[in-house]
Structure 1
Amino acid sequence: MLIKIIPLYLNQENKGVKEVGYFNDYLNTIEQPDHRKKMEAIFNWVDTTFPELDKVIKWNQPMYTHHDTYIIGFSKAKAHISVNPEAAGMKPFIQRFEADGYTYTENLFRIKWTDEVDYLLLKEIIEFNLQDKAETTTFWRNYK
């Protein structure tokens, strides 16, 4: 069995693991080249649009945080990309998900590999979470 050693470093508060190249390693697990390019385009867009966000890996999921609180996460599936802005980050945008044809649950919505990415919607969701969680001191928000 081959074990790959990946260099890791801890964030300032030692609350989680950040890994410089892990997003690229994650992308390399996506077998379909067009799927990989779509996910990479989303990551690049978030990096460019929100440079203040930190990239971290928790629970094997690439996610973005701000002041050590969760903002948004992405994961791959066979037929779609799952986007998780938490339940409170979903509620204001339900009609937009429906208008875009995205299916959703309480905590996430799905962008099919064949769907266009609504970057304006992603921007508004991230901005909402940044504002809503500006004073949050925990990773997840308290939401019922």
Structure 2
Amino acid sequence: MEVFAEYLAHIDNPEHRERTEEVLAWVTKKFPQLMPKMAWNQPMFIDHGTFIIGFSIAKHHLAVAPERVVIQHFSDEIVQAGYDHTKELVRIRWERPIDFSLLENMIEFNITDKADCTTFWRK
């Protein structure tokens, strides 16, 4: 989590900081094989040099970015969890609970789907 310390320290709202830290710590613990990394001023996790999932914060939500393919695959589950999404990210409003099961499924999908991927992003 040290790699994210400076990012977390710059989150002004203590509740948003705590929630973001909770999610990042959960990913780190649940998927210890993933490498935490800061890139494009966002915390993200990579596997064998390929992007798996990234996070960012906004005034009203925590954004989860697992790549377009994952959002398309889990679109119904994302909506059922009470989140809205674009083609590239899922918005978890600060007042909504985190659906860790959904998050786990999206990460596992990406790890499996990108097992043979040799580039950072999907082509």
| Class of the TM-score when normalised by the shorter of the 2 chains | over 0.9
Letter in 2 for 1:141: R
Match of 1:25 in 2: 6
Query: Which structure has more RCO (C-alpha within 8 Å, separation ≥ 6)?
Result: 2
Counterparts of 1:111 and 1:39 in 2: how far apart (Å)?
A: 11
Structure with the bigger percentage of helix = 2
Tell me the CA shift for residue 32 of structure 1: 1.1
**TM-score when scaled to structure 1?**
0.83
Consecutive aligned runs of 4 or more in structure 1 exceeding 6 Å deviation: none
After TM superposition, the structure 1 = structure 2 runs for residues 1-144 of structure 1, keeping only pairs within 5 Å, are 21-142=2-123
Structure 2 unaligned residues grouped into runs of 5+ = none
Task: Figure out how many residues of one structure are paired with residues of the other and give that number.
Answer: 123
Structure 1 unaligned residues grouped into runs of 5+ = 1-19
Counterparts of 1:75 and 1:23 in 2: how far apart (Å)?
A: 12
Counterparts of 2:103 and 2:38 in 1: how far apart (Å)?
A: 20
Counterparts of 1:58 and 1:31 in 2: how far apart (Å)?
A: 20
Tell me the CA shift for residue 89 of structure 1: 1.3
Q: Secondary structure at the match of 1:62?
A: strand
The worse-fitting range, judged by mean Cα deviation, of 26-35 and 133-142 is 26-35
Tell me the CA shift for residue 97 of structure 1: 1.2
Letter in 1 for 2:111: L
Root mean square deviation of aligned Cα: 1.0
Tell me the CA shift for residue 57 of structure 1: 1.2
% identity of equivalent residues = 44
**TM-score when scaled to structure 2?**
0.97
CA contact (8 A) 2:71 2:87 kept: yes
Structure of higher CA gyration radius: 1
